[in-house]
Amino acid sequence: MQIDELRISRLEIPFKLNFRHASAERARMQSVWAEARGNGNGLPGIGEGCPRRYVTGETLASAEEFCRGVREAVVREIHSLDDLRAWQADRAGAIDAHPAAWCALELALLDLLARERRVPVEDLLGLPRLRRRFFYSAVLGDSEFPLFLKTAARYRALGLKDFKFKLSGNLAADKRKLKTLRKLGIEKERIRVDANNFWKDAREAAEYLTALGPVAAVEEPLASGDFEGMRLVAERTGARIVLDESTARSGWLPRIAGDPGRWMVNIRISKMGGLLRSLDVLKHVREMSIPVVVGAQVGETSVLTRAALPAAQAAGEALYAQEGAFGTRLLQHDICSRPVMFGFGGALDTRGFGFSERAGWGLAARGKITQTVNL
């Protein structure tokens, strides 16, 4: 493969409603969008990454700067999947600091490589083709109760059975929301809460969560990387801890090896630095018998939804839940001509999209891409 052109743009699409949690409130999605063209082919390889300061320390500006800095080397040195793997391994530290930026580039290169071979990305990576259904979670932001109730009831009427909601720090309000989900028929084992690193003190967090009531899991209750504190929260509440922001850098796996029964791991493709790194983490986590949530950034387009599917399939029996695939349920429009999004029961049937018969990601992009940056 010869890369002829590598372009980066900012992609911004308004939400249909604002989404709030302890770390941020968002009214639109913002992504880094990558397009790679090679060997005179028509359609480019496409990729997306979601830089979030409160997750990976990145901004759109820093992501663009990273891409400018590596563009020449990527074009000159990457001509095959082996080149891509080696390039990534040699620059692990830089990618740790810019995972979402690299994710956009990596996904575009994987798409281009697979398109040139005229095979799905799964074939390129030696993975089984996608010929199954995936089931997604309802994810509820920290909204006022009337909106929370309306949204939860809508997802329940749509047949979703797995729910996650963002904690507000207001115990009475959060207890009311949990009670509402139980009244809607959601089992405790299918409810998890996300604190988005709300507390500084483990004992305070454990006291709050105990008063809240039983849930299956609590995501990131303390500062990112506070493994000892989160162990204490797990011990005192009986809930597993879902690690998310704490896994955005290398070196965290040994810190949970001694007590795998306390944890789940949220693998978001953009946060992990692309699909290849996500698959590597999945392999280790499965060997440790730790359940997995294949997650998503709020407002991902169909590109990241599609890129997460081989990871969810590779998770096998370790897959506890899957997030994302909201498409135009949240976005005013999607970048792809046919949004990849869940339907009744939270189900996304890959057979209906023809991913196993189409080259690359099997997606066609369209829509307005703003603030183009030529690299």
Nearest in space to 270 (alpha carbons), one of 73, 36, 105: 105
pLDDT at 351: 94
* Mode of pairing for the β-strands spanning 370-373 and 3-21: antiparallel
Q: Please give the Cα distance from 194 to 168 (Å, whole number).
A: 9
pLDDT at 375: 38
Q: DSSP string covering 321-351, please?
A: EE----GGGTBSS-SBSS-----GGGEEEGG
pLDDT at 371: 40
At 5 the three-state DSSP class reads strand
Q: Please give the Cα distance from 106 to 203 (Å, whole number).
A: 41
- CA 196 to each of CA 163, 207, 218: distance values in angstroms, whole numbers, following the listed order: 16, 17, 10
pLDDT at 373: 39
Average pLDDT along the chain: 93
pLDDT at 365: 85
pLDDT in tens, 195-218: 999 999 999 999 999 999 999 999
Q: Please give the Cα distance from 329 to 230 (Å, whole number).
A: 33
pLDDT in tens, 342-369: 999 999 999 999 999 999 999 988 754 4
Section 167-182 average pLDDT: 97
| The pTM of the whole model exceeds 0.75 | yes
3-122+361-373 and 133-352 agree in CATH topology: no
State CA 177 to chain mean position distance. 24
Task: Return the percentage of the chain with pLDDT > 70, whole number.
Answer: 95
Confidence check: pLDDT of 372 > 60: no
Residue 22 in tokens: 């302890």
Assigned CATH topology for domain 133-352: TIM Barrel (3.20.20)
Lowest pLDDT segment from 27-36, 109-118, 344-353: 27-36
Give the confidence band of 22 by pLDDT, cuts at 50, 70, 90.
low
Reported in sequence order, the residue ranges of the chain that DSSP labels E, i.e. its strands, are 3-21, 24-38, 45-49, 133-135, 138-140, 163-166, 191-194, 217-219, 240-243, 263-267, 292-294, 319-322, 347-349, 370-373
pLDDT in tens, 59-105: 999 999 999 899 999 999 999 999 999 999 999 999 999 999 999 99
pLDDT at 370: 44
Task: Return the percentage of the chain with pLDDT > 90, whole number.
Answer: 86
Section 256-267 average pLDDT: 96
Section 29-34 average pLDDT: 92
DSSP state of 170: -
Residue 46 in tokens: 């496409």
pLDDT in tens, 285-340: 999 999 999 999 988 999 999 999 999 999 999 999 999 999 999 999 999 989 99
**Domain extents in the chain:** 3-122+361-373, 133-352
User: 3-122+361-373 belongs to which CATH class?
Assistant: alpha beta
